[in-house]
Each structure stands twice: as C-alpha cells, then as structure tokens.
C-alpha cells in the first residue's frame, strides 16, 4: 500500500537507525533568525531524560521546537508491537505531522533522549503562526505532509486488516482507511503466510473475518465505518459548543474549495463529510484537464492537498458522520448529525454531490462492492491486476478508469450504450482509448446478466445492434454511469427539481446566485440544479459562494440591534467598517 502523494526517501543509512528520517524535507532545521521569531509564540522549558512530550492517542498535542538536546519519535511499544524509532530530532528541529492541523489522535509518541531545552507552543499559537509566519508555515507544511506520507507508506503504526481480499467488508474497510490517509497493512486470509498465526493468536474464526487489529492491541470484528473511525480517533465526539460562521456539508471539490476560501478569510468553518474527502472526484484515477496540472493529478491527491490547505487556514473537519436533517430558527442553522452532537452555524453550504447510479441487472446487489466498483484508484487496480475486467460508461470518469486500469489489467472491455464515445467523452481520452490495444470498446452494448458463487465470475453483455449476447469471464466490473443528487435528507426543507437537484438563485426566490429558498443556506457543485458536472466548475462554485456568505453575514449584522447576534468574525467586521468608510468619503 502506498500513499497517494509522492514523498522523498529516507536519508539515513545507519544500521542502528535504518528508516529514521534525520534531516531534509522531513525534518528541516530552523535558522537562529526563525527561532527568534518563534519565541513570542511559546514558552521555553527543560525536560529530563526519558520524559514523554506526548504519547500516541492524545489529541491537540502541543508543538515542540528543540533548542538544545534531542528527542525521538517512535511508533509501537507494548501490545505485541515492537517499538520502532521514526526520527531523532535535535537542535532547531520540531515535532508533529498532519495531526498538527486537525484534532485527530496522534499516531506516534515522543520522548527526550537526554536533558533537553525546548520551546512549547500551544495549538492556538500554532494556528496564528500558520496564518502570519509564511516562511515558518511553509516549512511546517512540507515536513508534515512528508512525515504523514512516510507513516502511511511504512504502515508500521497503523491498522492490520486481516480478511479475505475479495470480501465486500474487507474492501469496504480498506477503502475507508486508504481514502482517509490512515496507515494500514492488509493480510489476505487465503494468500498471506502470516494469516494462520494471527487467526490462532486472536482466536478468530474464518466466519468472523475481516478483523481490524488496532495499534493498541484491540481487535474489532468486522467493524462499521463509524465504529472504526471512532476507535481510531478520526472523529471528535466532544460536545461542540462553537457557533460556526459557515458549515459545509460534503467534502467534494465544491465543499473543499468553499472551506479553503471561507477559512482563509477568517470565517469559523466546519466541513461535515460522511465517508472521505474528495467525493466522486476523489475516486478518479487521473484528472488531466484541471488547470495547473499539465501531467494530470489523481482525484485523491487533489482532494488531499485541498483538505490540508483548508486545515492550514483553520477549517475543522468532521469525518465519518452524515448529516440527517437541517433546520433554521432565530437566524441560526442547526445540523443534526448521526450519533454525534448537533452543529450550529450562521450559514450552511450544501455540497453533498451525488450518489452513484446502478445498473438494473439481476444479482447486481449480490456483487456490489464484491466485484462491482464505483472507483478506479490504485487500491482497486491492485485487486484486479492481470485480470480481464469491464468498465461501464461513456463519460470522462469511465474513460480515465479504462486507461488507468489498462496499465495493470490483462484486458479492459469498455461497455457503452450509445453509438459513439465522442458525444460524451473528451477528445483526448477518446483518442487514447482507441490507440490502446488493451481496451476493447463495445458500442451500443449493455450488461444484461451477472453470475457467480461467493463472488462475481461472469458478465453477460448484449450487443443491441446485432441483438446477440456474449458471456465474459470477469470478476471486476467498474460502473461509471453518472449519479443522482444526494439530497434525500433535505426533502421538505429545500426546493428541488423533479430529479432531486437543489434549486438556487432567482428560481428559488433568492437574491444570491447560489442561494436556496432558505435564507443563509446555499448549494454548490453537482448537487445544484443547472450545475456543470466538472471538477473545475465545482471548485469555482465553492470559491464564489463565499462572497454570497460575506454579504449575508454583513447584512444580518446591520439589520439587528446591538447585542442581538454574537460577534461576527473579524473578516466581516472589517468589511463592514470599510464599506461604511467608503460611503462616508464619497
């Protein structure tokens, strides 16, 4: 398993510290000038040898800069896991990885290896550094991304997933861990030599698979995604008393863009996502027509970068919980979240995107996620390496999937109901597909049958032109035939068209282009009626909607008497003051 991002290799060749990162992009050294700038943000203290600065599983860990001495970062220790030293930090270096940007539980522990003088900086001060100290913030970001990538690639600090590689539940858990950047190692119960020993050690039956073996020794037997996220500390169920300026529901391209723009302009921002950042775009193997990436970028990498960018500006993310309902009272929006405290916000952006459409074929649900896939990432490609596969669809997602999977699959059958690809797919993809010998395009065709015992083994394809059928021996079908709006939770709350897309703008009696019929509530991206179903368009809508939010918050402040509404964020207060100043000087 590898991280979706590319990271530098370790630079230590010492036999005692093989794999330990000591310098370079992983652990840069602050210059004396930068250290001096940091002094106003923290407190200097001295810790004794073997003192722990933090341990795995803690939240909101402080940030430490070593001034004189040394500390070591390590994984494991106890619970049948050997201690693994990740890094040794000395003068001018600092602790932390991407856990500095969110409130997830830390993946590693840290202790002093000698008496050490250091600077302790709390999370609030670190947030201020990320906003105001550009040079320092860039070093922190580069190191944090590289360190997390190394943890994911090494997978020594994460989950051991024991199960059958083709099992629907094994794939479900694997996909969640992969898309949320959590380190894990998968052991196939049928193929891996270590499987029998683990099954005997933990007294697991074949029927009880899959199981997730957590770093602290706990065993979760076929856990739900919600349970797994809670036990791994990916969710924060502490009572939420914050009133946010904007709550964004959905972390696809539109939601992530709105989060970056809102948080960067000083709005208190929360993003609520039920599965993983990226939405449907996050499952794309390659996006080649997105501005600024001439060689293309995977949907997961683009999403991961956007997530980190939003967190850098202070956006809070709530992952693995769905919003079940929304209401508004006394100018405040309330979002009810499954098995978690409700969230209150002055404004809400709906960016829930769409759900995958399914084929109307007998036995379809038997093989869903157990041979039928809706994503084509490196994880899915590894499942069907060297095999014959089927991709269904005629849009760009289907085209990108076919080309990506053709790199590792024995052969790809692209099933298209229409008479040509050119009508629905970008020309550059069409030309590449036609030039790839590993891809067979079947026009005017559709799947009419699926069969198999414990997993998918055959697919029957009908040629609607010749009215003949052919059965293909395949175990993996990638269905990419569009999607339906994810708005069932908003029925009887917002105005929608007959297909369930949210109506915005003047059609919804709103003065804001992205406004809905409910004041202070907006819809962007694929979920919006009339939107262009492209990543670039969704990012644009998510960015632009923040200007509507600013106007609404400013108007709400001006329309109330002093003290009737909590203080607005600094960004809005400054805008109001500047507007008043401009009017007075005209």
Q: What is the pLDDT of residue 24?
A: 67
359 pLDDT tier (thresholds 50, 70, 90): very high
Peptide bond preceding 210: is omega within 30 degrees of 0, i.e. cis? yes
pLDDT of 67 > 60? The answer is yes
The answer to whether domain 159-230 and domain 243-354+519-558 are alike in fold is no
Q: What CA–CA distance (Å, rounded) separates 518 from 464?
A: 46
> How large is the angle between the packed helices 134-154 and 123-132, nearest 10 degrees?
120
User: Domain 243-354+519-558's class?
Assistant: alpha beta
pLDDT of 490 > 90? The answer is yes
What are the structure tokens assigned to 551, written together?
């106007």
15 pLDDT tier (thresholds 50, 70, 90): very low
State the DSSP H helix or E strand holding residue 305, giving kind and residue range, or none if neither. helix 299-312
Please give the mean pLDDT across all residues of the chain.
Answer: 87
Q: What CA–CA distance (Å, rounded) separates 259 from 538?
A: 13
- The correct CATH number of 17-151 out of 3.40.50.620, 2.60.120.10, 3.20.20.70, 1.10.340.70 is 2.60.120.10
The pTM of the full predicted model, rounded to 2 decimals, is: 0.84
**Bridge pairing between strands 219-221 and 211-213:** antiparallel
408-412, 445-449, 452-456: least confident range: 452-456
Q: What is the pLDDT of residue 307?
A: 95
pLDDT > 90 fraction of the chain, expressed in percent and rounded: 65
pLDDT of 575 > 80? The answer is no
165 pLDDT tier (thresholds 50, 70, 90): confident
What are the structure tokens assigned to 492, written together?
């009887």
81 pLDDT tier (thresholds 50, 70, 90): low
Show the 3-state SS of 201-227: HCCCCHHHCCEEECCCCCEEECCCHHH
558 pLDDT tier (thresholds 50, 70, 90): low
In the block, tokens 């840290």 appear at: 110
SS3 287: strand
DSSP 367-435: HBTTTEES--SHHHHHHTTTSEEEEE-SSHHHHHHHHHHTTTSSEEEEE-SSS-STTTS-HHHHHHHHT
Domain ranges of the chain: 17-151, 159-230, 243-354+519-558, 364-481
123 pLDDT tier (thresholds 50, 70, 90): very high
Highest mean pLDDT among 23-32, 150-159, 358-367, 576-585 belongs to 358-367
pLDDT of 526 > 80? The answer is yes
What fold is seen in the domain 159-230?
Glutaredoxin (3.40.30)
Q: Which one has a higher pLDDT value, 262 or 217?
A: 262
SS3 560: coil
Q: What is the pLDDT of residue 13?
A: 35
SS3 320: coil
* The 477-479 sheet, strands edge to edge: 372-373, 477-479, 388-392, 411-415, 439-442
60-74, 159-173, 349-363, 571-585: least confident range: 571-585
pLDDT of 22 > 70? The answer is no
377-391, 496-510, 572-586: least confident range: 572-586
Backbone angles phi, psi at 407, to 5 degrees: -70, -25
pLDDT of 240 > 70? The answer is no
pLDDT > 70 fraction of the chain, expressed in percent and rounded: 89
Strands in 218-368 per DSSP E: 219-221, 243-249, 269-273, 316-319, 323-329, 332-337, 340-350, 354-356
Partnered with residue 211 across adjacent β-strands are 162, 221
Give the number of other CB atoms < 10 A from CB of residue 457.
14
Highest mean pLDDT among 76-80, 257-261, 551-555 belongs to 257-261
239 pLDDT tier (thresholds 50, 70, 90): low
CATH 3.50.50.60 applies to domain 364-481: yes
Judge residue 127's burial from the number of C-beta atoms within 10 Å of its C-beta, 0-12 exposed, 13-18 middle, 19 or more buried: middle
Q: What CA–CA distance (Å, rounded) separates 134 from 149?
A: 22
What are the structure tokens assigned to 172, written together?
């479900």
SS3 31: coil
Q: What is the pLDDT of residue 270?
A: 95
Q: What is the pLDDT of residue 559?
A: 54
Q: Which one has a higher pLDDT value, 367 or 22?
A: 367
Q: Tens of pLDDT along 279-335?
A: 888 888 888 888 999 988 988 899 999 999 999 999 999 888 899 999 998 889 999
Q: What is the pLDDT of residue 20?
A: 41
pLDDT of 584 > 80? The answer is no
DSSP label at 497?
Answer: -
SS3 325: strand
Q: What CA–CA distance (Å, rounded) separates 39 from 36?
A: 5
DSSP label at 275?
Answer: S
Q: Which one has a higher pLDDT value, 19 or 310?
A: 310
């Amino acid at each position: 398993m590898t991280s979706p991002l590319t990271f530098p290799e370790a630079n230590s060749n010492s036999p005692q510290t093989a794999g330990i990162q000591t310098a370079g992009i992983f652990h840069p050294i602050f210059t004396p000038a930068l250290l001096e700038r940091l002094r106003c943000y923290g407190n200097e203290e001295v810790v004794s040898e073997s003192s722990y600065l933090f341990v795995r599983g803690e939240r909101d860990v402080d940030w430490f800069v070593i001034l004189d001495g040394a500390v070591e970062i390590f994984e494991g220790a106890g619970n049948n896991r050997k201690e693994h030293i990740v890094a040794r930090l000395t003068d001018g270096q600092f602790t932390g990885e991407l856990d500095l940007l969110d409130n997830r539980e830390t993946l590693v522990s840290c202790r002093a290896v000698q008496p050490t003088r250091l600077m302790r900086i709390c999370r609030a001060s670190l947030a201020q550094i990320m906003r105001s100290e550009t040079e320092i913030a860039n070093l922190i970001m580069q190191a944090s991304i590289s360190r997390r990538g190394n943890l994911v690639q090494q997978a020594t600090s994460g989950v051991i997933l024991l199960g059958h590689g083709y099992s629907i539940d094994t794939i479900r858990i694997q996909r969640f861990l992969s898309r949320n950047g959590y380190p894990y190692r998968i052991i196939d119960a049928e193929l891996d030599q270590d499987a029998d020993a683990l099954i005997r050690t933990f007294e697991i039956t074949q029927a009880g698979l899959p199981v997730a073996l957590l770093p602290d020794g706990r065993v979760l037997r076929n856990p739900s995604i919600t349970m797994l996220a809670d036990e791994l500390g990916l969710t924060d169920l502490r009572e939420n008393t914050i009133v946010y300026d904007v709550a964004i529901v959905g972390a696809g391209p539109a939601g992530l863009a709105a989060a970056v723009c809102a948080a960067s302009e000083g709005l208190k921002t929360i993003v609520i996502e039920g599965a993983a950042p990226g939405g449907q775009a996050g499952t794309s193997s390659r996006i080649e027509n997105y501005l600024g990436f001439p060689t293309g970028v995977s949907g997961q990498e683009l999403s991961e970068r956007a997530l980190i960018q939003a967190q850098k500006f202070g956006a809070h993310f709530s992952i693995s919980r769905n919003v079940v309902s929304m209401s508004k009272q006394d100018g405040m929006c309330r979002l009810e979240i499954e098995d978690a405290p409700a969230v209150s916000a002055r404004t809400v952006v709906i960016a829930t995107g769409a759900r995958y459409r399914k084929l109307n074929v007998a036995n379809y649900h038997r093989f869903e996620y157990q041979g039928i896939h809706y994503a084509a990432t490196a994880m899915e490609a590894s499942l069907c390496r060297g095999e014959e596969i089927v991709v269904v669809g005629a849009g760009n997602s289907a085209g990108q999937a076919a080309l990506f999977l053709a790199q590792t699959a024995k052969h790809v059958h692209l099933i298209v109901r229409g008479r040509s690809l050119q009508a629905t797919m970008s020309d550059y993809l069409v030309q590449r597909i036609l030039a790839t010998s590993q891809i067979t395009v079947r026009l005017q065709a559709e799947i009419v049958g699926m069969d198999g015992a414990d997993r998918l083994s055959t697919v029957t394809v009908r040629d609607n032109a010749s009215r003949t059928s052919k059965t293909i021996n395949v175990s993996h079908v990638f269905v990419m035939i569009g999607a339906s709006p994810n708005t069932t939770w908003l029925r009887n709350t917002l105005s929608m068209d007959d297909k369930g897309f949210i109506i915005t703008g003047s059609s919804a009696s709103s003065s804001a282009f992205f406004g809905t019929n409910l004041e202070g509530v907006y819809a962007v991206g694929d979920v919006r009626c009339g939107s262009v179903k492209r990543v670039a368009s969704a990012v644009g809508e998510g960015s632009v909607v923040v200007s509507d939010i600013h106007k609404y918050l400013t108007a709400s402040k001006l329309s109330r008497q002093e003290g009737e509404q909590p203080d607005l964020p600094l960004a809005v207060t400054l805008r109001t003051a500047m507007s008043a100043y401009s009017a007075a000087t005209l």
